[in-house]
Amino acid sequence: MNITRAWEILKDNGYKKTDKRELILNMFEDTDKYLTARDLLSVLKKDFPGMSFDTIYRNLATFVNLGILEETELNGERNFRMHCESEHHHHHFICMECGKVKEISVCPMEMIQEKLPDCAIESHKFEIYGKCQNCVHETV
Amino acid sequence: MNITRAWEILKDNGYKKTDKRELILNMFEDTDKYLTARDLLSVLKKDFPGMSFDTIYRNLATFVNLGILEETELNGERNFRMHCESEHHHHHFICMECGKVKEISVCPMEMIQEKLPDCAIESHKFEIYGKCQNCVHETV
DNA sequence: TTTCTAATTCATAATCATTACGATTTACAA
DNA sequence: TTGTAAATCGTAATGATTATGAATTAGAAA
């Protein structure tokens, strides 16, 4: 997902272009990591001291609904990042040190459905946590 | 994990046998579902109106540390259940309707490590959500 | 361009889960 | 039976998130 596409989606759905939304989207475009509402607020407060929780959370929810951002829960906090548009279904390795995210193409769901013949599978979460190459070699 | 084993573990680690702990463990022994702190409190308040958050949360943390309970995050709330002692590593299918939990023996982690040769994988989460046999057939 | 209106934001308070604290009570070993 | 560390109670604090009502603003229509 790039920022141009994000604006298209917003416009198509009747959402306006505001400076706050622009700042938020820019922050996501600049990184491949997951960010929290807190991350966003602490940066955006510099440019807009009055920036409020409401603005952040409402916009994050909007972006997720429109498929611009994707979301996961990491130690009790919601984390967001630009939605990947890889053509194939995939999962993520998340570095717990620096936050870097890598795509993993393996997904065992086909196997799984066979094992649960009578269940209606609605979703699944498969995430791998650890340290990435760089962080493994860092001395603590 | 059964309750007798749980008490052994507690005793071995210098924890005392209290009526509150007994009630909490009994609730977990009676079900195979995940329970929240709220679930526990709402039931236990009947027998012990004074039962406090502190007691619940402190004991849940203790039980998790000792491996008596296992924990997962489900829509922003921590959920707990008796730790499975299956001899093999496995994952869970969780019915979002009734809360029933099924063991899934498939785990793709061997495959994954190959794909991330330089990363130190520390943990992973793999959960499947949906409706179980019974709940699929219920009319809403 | 100006005006109108719905969308957006601000400031703040409410809510919900969780954690912390000081005083009191309790389990259990000596 | 008693002493003491552990556990609990009652309540308050914290931190993330959601809600509210008033004020502002973007963007379409005149």
User: What CATH number does the domain containing A47 carry?
Assistant: 1.10.10.10
* B107 in reach of chain A (CB within 8 A): yes
Give the number of domains in chain B.
2
User: What CATH number does the domain containing A104 carry?
Assistant: 3.30.1490.190
* B140 in reach of chain A (CB within 8 A): no
Q: Please indicate whether, in this complex, the C-beta atoms of B125 and A120 are within 8 angstroms of each other.
A: no
* A87-95 contacts at long range (C-beta below 8 A, 24 or more positions apart): A91/A126, A91/A127, A91/A128, A92/A127, A92/A128, A93/A127, A93/A128, A93/A129, A93/A130, A93/A132, A93/B112, A93/B116, A93/B119, A93/B121, A94/A34, A94/A127, A94/A128, A94/A129, A95/A130, A95/A131, A95/A132, A95/A135, A95/B119
Domain that holds residue A116: 91-137
- Residue ranges of alpha helices (H) inside chain A are 3-12, 19-29, 37-47, 53-65, 109-115, 133-137
Q: How confident is the model at residue A46 (pLDDT cuts 50, 70, 90)?
A: confident
What does pTM read for this prediction? 0.89
> Is the minimum distance from the CB of A65 to strand D below 7 Å?
no
DSSP codes joined into one string, B75-89? TTEEEEEEPP--SS-
> Is the minimum distance from the CB of A19 to strand D below 7 Å?
yes
Q: What is the mean pLDDT of residues A15-42?
A: 93
Cβ-based contacts of A123 with chain B (< 8 Å): 128-130
Cβ-based contacts of A104 with chain B (< 8 Å): 112, 115-116
Residues B54 and B106 occupy one common structural domain:
no
Q: Please indicate whether, in this complex, the C-beta atoms of A115 and B104 are within 8 angstroms of each other.
A: yes
Q: Please indicate whether, in this complex, the C-beta atoms of A121 and B129 are within 8 angstroms of each other.
A: yes
- The answer on pLDDT for B102 being more than 90 is yes
B16 phi, psi to nearest 5 deg? -90, 160
Q: How confident is the model at residue A139 (pLDDT cuts 50, 70, 90)?
A: low
Residues B12 and B68 occupy one common structural domain:
yes
Q: How many other C-beta atoms are found inside a 10 Å radius of the C-beta of residue A1? A: 19
Beta strand A35-36 with A77-82: parallel, antiparallel or unpaired? antiparallel
Give chain D positions with protein CB within 7 A: 6-12, 16-21, 25-27
Residues B24 and B50 occupy one common structural domain:
yes
Residues B68 and B108 occupy one common structural domain:
no
- The answer on pLDDT for B6 being more than 90 is yes
Residues A40 and A8 occupy one common structural domain:
yes
Q: What is the mean pLDDT of residues B34-46?
A: 93
CA atoms within 13 A on the CB side of A26: 9
From the list B107, B116, B131, the residue facing A119 with the nearest CB is B131
Give chain C positions with protein CB within 7 A: 7-13, 17-22, 26-28
